[in-house]
Structure 1
């Protein structure tokens, strides 16, 4: 096998040209800025742009900016472009400061350069994307696609291909050995024969890409199909079956010369963990600074309306199932933290006069930004449950404990989708876990950004919050 492995990451074949375009635009925009303000473009400006080139190259690679964005939202592309440029500017500003060269550079030139570079970096991506979409919708720059096997994952792929013609993939036919009346899929009308028919048409060169959606348990069947397709030039892809598809952040690993596939893993590795930590610290510091006086007033109201401490520290599970102490403003007359914790219900007599308001508006959770600063929670992540509830539901909900593959959060995907408050039925808890695992499976800074924005509009309240 050798140390080259047998599975490669999918990369954009034009990535080298995209890199050159970015680096050239950064240099050009600084040159244009100096000419606009009548400043000589000398070696000092070239050095500044060169530092920006190097740092931008690192940040862009870190955010996979040069991968294929065929099926990604434009907002996501622009978000990562902006983030890459913003982080790339830090070494530039550090160089200007520590080299004591601030007086050598015009602030107007630097300001114009920073803004114009961002505009150009984002602008050419928008124009190029719409040009490709226009060509693909006209049938150009497209690829003919067939699907073998209308399993659940095969149907999901068909839905993606038909719903996003801008990707350039044109689904022409699907094939399955079962009769249409045995298939629970809305795309049976595209079926044009059996698996053998699909293989034969691929051998005749009718498809550029062929996806195999048979369950992985049909190993012998898949192997026989692959052997037949080895006599073609069609690109062949295996679609993970429904169980494999739902594994938690599955990824390719390597031990020596042997490649492995992780089954349950965390996305918090290397630089991504550092970036999420920076996100947490910066936002928490800002929020705690802004909310310091309101938090002080809330504390005074709690002391004036009921006896007891201002804060309630409850044991909950954190990252990897380790116990942590979670801060909350006390909203009840009791501070239950034992083996049995009763969830708050409508008209619960344990709730203090101000506690009901704090709970409905999520203001009782503001002290959890202290947990974030301590490092045992994140701003975005699966909400931590009381230890007693964890022990109860881990026995009833499949994959429950996998939600602890990331730090618990103050807000999360479940909360912005209405899963807040009392879980008086098992289905409500299952829905929470579904969203928690979806978040971990697809985590990115872009998803965190969207969840934070959505929290301000619909994540603070809920119909079952008492």
Structure 2
């Protein structure tokens, strides 16, 4: 099976992830090689080091358990944006190294453009071939495992749906045992009996024959006494047993299996940026922030002048916010309000707020006041995309009122975020709006990908000049 997460993957899954990265790296390498061979304008010597850098970078970028899990999904073509996003990172690293080495002028623009456009389709073809070979391999009944579900919960229902959408998991859930109504698991899953029937069905008491390969046991806040007998029988069988906890048992969202010091543990919502998994996002941040500062430097100079002329005071506004792990950071913005010499509780800006200058209202409407945060990104305090950092006073207030609020600090705060491009930008005057914003932040944390970052950046650009929630 491909199922695993970056920090609790078994050694075979880790090896499979690396082999997949090598396969995609080889495609990137040989695509450029063939383009050079058939191109009359290419200087092969100039491309030698770039090809090696592309290969090594591809291994890092494509050696991803998330990518392996995506290969399982039925809609394989939905993987194209992910592959394209990862390839774009590799391509930008190659360009950046060529620029640093002062060899970019020696690279044929025609070759580089063809390589940029053709490679995503070759990667998609490779993914299709890998998936097809795996499907053929796992299509034999002898290579698939039969499973049953015991004592369902909502997490079990979601897991079964995921297994059905993931043919490469090679697990067929054939039914369930439960003392409750038939509607507990997915409606099209057959009920095989009550819990009292499960023990004799799974393991034949006369022959000791095991009738199933995998048993999923749902954990709820109240377990039936029959489970103890079933677990005892499973302990003395060859069936693989998985316990599927209901997150609400622990009063915390996003319960996940992790490994700590070689031992399996259940963890609440965890950061997706562990070890090498953090590298693609950091590369995207460095490239995006550097390009943004270069391209937008004339705009920033004009804005700085406008702020200085609009009202007395400093050009920049500095405020303490919570960063990753809840550590305080200084977040910079162009000042959009009148200078306030009095310290006190932070009051969120509202529509028609008299503290906002005329020029400041334009800056906030277009989000140009956020541009200095590109320096925060280069420094490493922030990311281009992530949960927006709130004022310290707001954190102390809402952490007591909103479920899962502090989980958003498991990753770096961003200049823009998933909540902001979904209409939750600006004032959060009700508790419901803040809860909705946190729900979007936690969705981003659990579903992060380079492609999702690119989508958020693109959607941010689209709404810059038309956001009615910016004051």
| TM tier relative to shorter chain | 0.7 to 0.9
Q: Are 2:314 and 1:309 aligned?
A: yes
Given candidates 444, 454, 459, the residue that maps to 1:454 is 459
What is residue 177 of structure 2 aligned with on the other side? 175
What is residue 408 of structure 1 aligned with on the other side? 413
Q: Distance in 1 between matches of 2:363 and 2:412?
A: 24
Q: Distance in 2 between matches of 1:91 and 1:135?
A: 41
Q: Are 2:233 and 1:228 aligned?
A: yes
SS of aligned partner of 1:11:
helix
Q: Are 2:285 and 1:280 aligned?
A: yes
Deviations 1:273-332 (A, max 9, x none): 444333222211111222222233333333444443332222222223232222222222
Deviations 1:383-442 (A, max 9, x none): 111122122212222332332222211111221222222111112112222222333344
Distance 1:341 1:55, change over 3 A: closer
SS of aligned partner of 1:350:
coil
Distance 1:108 1:412, change over 3 A: closer
Indicate conservation of the 8 Å contact 2:399/2:405, yes or no: yes
SS of aligned partner of 2:455:
helix
Given candidates 248, 258, 266, the residue that maps to 1:251 is 258
What is residue 187 of structure 2 aligned with on the other side? 187
Indicate conservation of the 8 Å contact 1:416/1:459, yes or no: no
What is residue 122 of structure 2 aligned with on the other side? 120
SS of aligned partner of 2:242:
strand
Deviations 1:21-59 (A, max 9, x none): 5576567657755764699xx999999977765664455
Range 49-58 or range 119-128, more displaced? 49-58
Q: Are 2:401 and 1:396 aligned?
A: yes
Unaligned runs of 5+ in 1: 1-5
Indicate conservation of the 8 Å contact 1:59/1:87, yes or no: no
Indicate conservation of the 8 Å contact 1:30/1:49, yes or no: yes
Distance 1:301 1:219, change over 3 A: farther
SS of aligned partner of 2:354:
coil
Unaligned runs of 5+ in 2: 1-7, 205-209
Q: Distance in 2 between matches of 1:116 and 1:229?
A: 52
Q: Distance in 2 between matches of 1:111 and 1:380?
A: 27
Indicate conservation of the 8 Å contact 1:153/1:239, yes or no: yes
Q: Distance in 1 between matches of 2:443 and 2:121?
A: 33
What is residue 69 of structure 1 aligned with on the other side? 71
What is residue 155 of structure 2 aligned with on the other side? 153
Q: Distance in 1 between matches of 2:112 and 2:362?
A: 49
Distance 1:457 1:231, change over 3 A: farther
Deviations 1:207-259 (A, max 9, x none): 554322223774986554333235655443222321468347763110xx655
Range 50-59 or range 117-126, more displaced? 50-59
Indicate conservation of the 8 Å contact 1:249/1:267, yes or no: no
Given candidates 440, 445, 449, the residue that maps to 1:440 is 445
Distance 1:339 1:401, change over 3 A: farther
Total equivalences in the alignment: 451
Instruction: Flag the structure with more relative contact order, 1 or 2, with Cα contacts below 8 A and sequence separation at least 6.
Output: 2
How far residue 379 of structure 1 moved from its aligned partner, in angstroms, is: 1.1
Q: Distance in 2 between matches of 1:110 and 1:163?
A: 37
Indicate conservation of the 8 Å contact 1:76/1:446, yes or no: yes
Q: Distance in 2 between matches of 1:130 and 1:238?
A: 31
Deviations 1:329-354 (A, max 9, x none): 22223548844122222322222223
Q: Distance in 2 between matches of 1:60 and 1:384?
A: 30
Alignment of 1:345-384 (within 5 A): 345-384=350-389
Distance 1:388 1:285, change over 3 A: same
How far residue 153 of structure 1 moved from its aligned partner, in angstroms, is: 0.9
SS of aligned partner of 2:436:
helix
Q: Distance in 2 between matches of 1:107 and 1:419?
A: 42
Distance 1:194 1:447, change over 3 A: farther
SS of aligned partner of 1:328:
strand
Distance 1:31 1:384, change over 3 A: closer
